[in-house]
Amino acid sequence: MEPIQVAVRRGGLVEAVHRVHAVAYQDGRVVASAGDTSLVSFLRSSAKPFQALELARARDDLDERDLAIASASHRAEPQHIEAVRALLAKAGAKEGDLECGSQEGRPPGPIYHNCSGKHAGMLATCQARGWRAEGYGMPGHRMQRANTTDVAAAAGLEEESVRTASDGCGVLTWAMPLERMAAMFSRIESTEEGARIAAAMRTRPELIAALGATDTDLMQTLEGFAAKGGAEGLLCAAGPDGVGVALKCEDGSYRPLRPAAAAFLGELGFGLGSYGETVIRNNRGEPVGDVTIL
């Protein structure tokens, strides 16, 4: 099957077309696909629920807010910053201990970085495990080695075969075929700690990104789904009965993912209603076009 084609239209004229590759995995096999299921990409922020696995194992003092913010790419809203500070307090850490740096377009300081929850979770893990906190983001640190083990195991891959690079916040990110990403999410709830993380994401979707975000809205629209977006046009999700889904926009754009996800999940029997409707507005807020399946 060809990739899902998503058109950007303005005044009835197609201005751009995005190609989205998608795969669904369940019961150990691919159950639906569009495009190239072997397309290799980096997990980026879609890896965050798996980077939180060691945190969930290491500590018994975590609530749903802690696990959600550790899995989040937040928008630095007051509720997000409050959640990060609460997790830092459990780690006995300070904002200055975060190694994610400042993020362009946000207030100065690492706590406002969209990955600060993940980094606070890493500090909390180090504190619980008795690991050295300084340099926790470096490839050779035990924190990053533990994350690599968890990611490879969830993907069903040998650690040595998984290519790594530095993510935007400075810690590791992992490359793998789209089909392996869907497989990862299909089995996230196969462990106690993974089930806790998925439940926290479903319970607190507004912490994972923000209201109006593609992954947050997906979780609020479809009962039983835990979804996480990643940079360069990636969206992954775990659904009921062990279904895992991964979608990747070939050109790295995020805007076609809503209509693509609605179409792909619709073929699997999950109705998303108006979720996939994306309106383009001008600077006065007037509708002037849309993003839709071609």
Beta bridge pairs of residue 249: 20
Give the orientation angle of helix 78-91 with respect to helix 116-129, to 10 degrees: 10
Q: Which amino acid is at 89?
A: A
Asked if 163 and 155 count as a contact pair (C-beta separation under 8 A), the reply is no
Place 248 in a pLDDT band, splitting at 50, 70 and 90. very high
Instruction: Please compute the mean of the pLDDT values over residues 206-231 and round it to a whole number.
Output: 97
* Residue-wise DSSP of 61-111: ---HHHHHHHT------HHHHHHHHHHHHHHT--GGG--S---TTS-SSGG
Task: Give residue 212's domain range.
Answer: 4-293
pLDDT (tens digit, 9 = 90+) per residue, 124-137? 999 999 999 999 99
Distance CA 244, CA 155 (A): 11
- What percent of the chain clears pLDDT 90, i.e. is strictly above it? 100
Instruction: Please compute the mean of the pLDDT values over residues 213-222 and round it to a whole number.
Output: 97
Instruction: Please compute the mean of the pLDDT values over residues 270-294 and round it to a whole number.
Output: 95
Distance CA 48, CA 116 (A): 11
Phi, psi of 41 (to 5 degrees): -150, 165
**Tokens encoding 105:** 């377009």
Distance CA 235, CA 161 (A): 23
| Whether residue 119 has pLDDT greater than 90 | yes
- Count of structural domains within the chain: 1
Question: What pTM, to 2 d.p., does this model score?
Answer: 0.96
- What percent of the chain clears pLDDT 70, i.e. is strictly above it? 100
- Of 235, 266, 270, nearest to 253 (Cα)? 235
| Whether residue 84 has pLDDT greater than 90 | yes
| Whether residue 107 has pLDDT greater than 90 | yes
Distance CA 49, CA 169 (A): 16
Distance CA 41, CA 184 (A): 14
Helix (H) or strand (E) holding 165: strand 163-166
| Whether residue 1 has pLDDT greater than 90 | no
pLDDT (tens digit, 9 = 90+) per residue, 12-53? 999 999 999 999 999 999 999 999 999 999 999 999 999 999
CATH number of the structural domain spanning residue 101: 3.40.710
Instruction: Please compute the mean of the pLDDT values over residues 258-285 and round it to a whole number.
Output: 96
**Tokens encoding 287:** 């509708």
- Of 226, 214, 281, nearest to 75 (Cα)? 214
Reduced to 3 states, what is the DSSP secondary structure of residue 253?
A: coil
Return the DSSP state at 258: H
